[in-house]
């Protein structure tokens, strides 16, 4: 009497019969099916991470299960690395010289996320020379900000000398601040820290200064003036002597 054939048995004969279509395909145990289905689901979820930005990963992390934490962290680190790489590309570190022909390319089309500080100057004006020195210092301190300078009349024809020095601040092609004329800068007493603070107020640099250095100078000046004034007692005695 012929024995019944177990269609799920792993034998060469059963493999031949399956290939010929005599036996049905081997049944997959439910546990294995569930594991495969889970793996496909996880793969599908991970694919969504591949298209997410760092912000999107952080926004959606609560929507995924504990099994996805490793995948989320992996793609988060990947996005952080990409962001750092992009930041490194945007390092300048010095004051570039441009002409009017370069204006659109270097200023208006500087790129996404780029702050531009442009100084219009002329040689022979002491305050312009001082500001160029300060900007060179700030360019090294804030290398992710694009610092530029241009002789005023080569950049803007017939630009009046009375408006010098002039500083324009741009972000992604839009003007965010402007400083025009010597009075705005406070003359030759301008300190690099004061210029840093003024630029930080526009957003062009992220200063570590806690307050406006000009305020400290003004406070010291007022304190000096008060200390030089006669006290009420002294003034009373002077009146008596008189």
Report the CATH number that the domain containing residue 190 is assigned in CATH.
3.40.30.10
> Is the pLDDT confidence value at 59 over 60?
yes
Q: What is the mean pLDDT of residues 100-113?
A: 91
Quote the pLDDT of residue 229.
Answer: 57
Q: Mean per-residue pLDDT for 102-118?
A: 92
Q: Classify residue 103: in a domain, yes or no.
A: yes
Cβ(238)–Cβ(232) under 8 Å?
no
pLDDT category at 112 given cuts 50, 70, 90 is confident
Which residue has tokens 């010929």?
20
104-108: average pLDDT: 92
CB 189, CB 214: distance < 8 Å: no
Q: What are the tokens at 173?
A: 């092609």
Cis amide linkage into residue 231, ω under 30° from 0? no
Domain that holds residue 110: 96-202
Query: Which pLDDT score, from 0 to 100, does residue 231 have?
Result: 56
| pLDDT higher than 70, residue 136 | yes
Is residue 135, in this structure, part of any structural domain at all? yes
In a domain, 152, yes or no: yes
Judged against a pLDDT cut of 90, whether residue 148 lies above it is answered with yes
- The number of CA neighbours under 13 Å toward the Cβ of 204 is 28
The whole-model pTM stands at 0.56
pLDDT in tens, 5-33: 566 666 777 677 777 667 677 665 555 66
User: What pLDDT does residue 17 have?
Assistant: 72
Position 195 in a domain: yes
The verdict on residue 220 lying in a domain is no
Give the angle 160-166-169 at the CA atoms, nearest 5°: 135
Structural domains of the chain, count: 1
């Amino acid at each position: 009497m012929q024995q019944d054939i177990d269609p799920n048995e792993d034998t060469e004969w059963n493999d031949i019969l399956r290939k010929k279509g005599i036996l049905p395909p081997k049944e997959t145990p439910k546990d294995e099916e569930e594991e495969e289905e889970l793996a496909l689901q996880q793969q599908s979820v991970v694919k969504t991470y591949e298209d997410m930005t760092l912000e999107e990963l952080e926004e959606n992390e609560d929507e995924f299960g504990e099994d996805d934490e490793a995948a989320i962290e992996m793609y988060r680190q990947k996005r952080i690395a990409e962001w750092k790489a992009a930041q490194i590309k945007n390092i300048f570190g010095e004051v570039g010289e441009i002409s009017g022909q370069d204006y659109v390319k270097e200023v208006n089309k500087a790129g996404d996320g780029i702050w531009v500080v442009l100084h219009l100057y002329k040689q022979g004006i002491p305050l312009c020379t001082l500001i160029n020195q300060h900007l060179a210092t700030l360019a090294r301190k804030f290398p992710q900000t694009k610092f530029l300078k241009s002789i005023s009349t080569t950049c803007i024809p017939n630009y009046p000398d009375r408006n010098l020095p002039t500083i324009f601040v741009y972000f992604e092609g839009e003007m965010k601040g402007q400083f025009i004329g010597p009075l705005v800068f406070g003359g030759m007493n301008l300190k690099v820290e004061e210029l840093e603070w003024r630029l930080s107020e526009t957003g062009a640099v992220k200063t570590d200064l806690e307050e406006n250095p000009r305020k400290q100078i003004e406070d010291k000046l007022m304190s000096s003036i008060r200390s030089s004034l006669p006290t009420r007692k002294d003034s009373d005695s002077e009146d008596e002597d008189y």
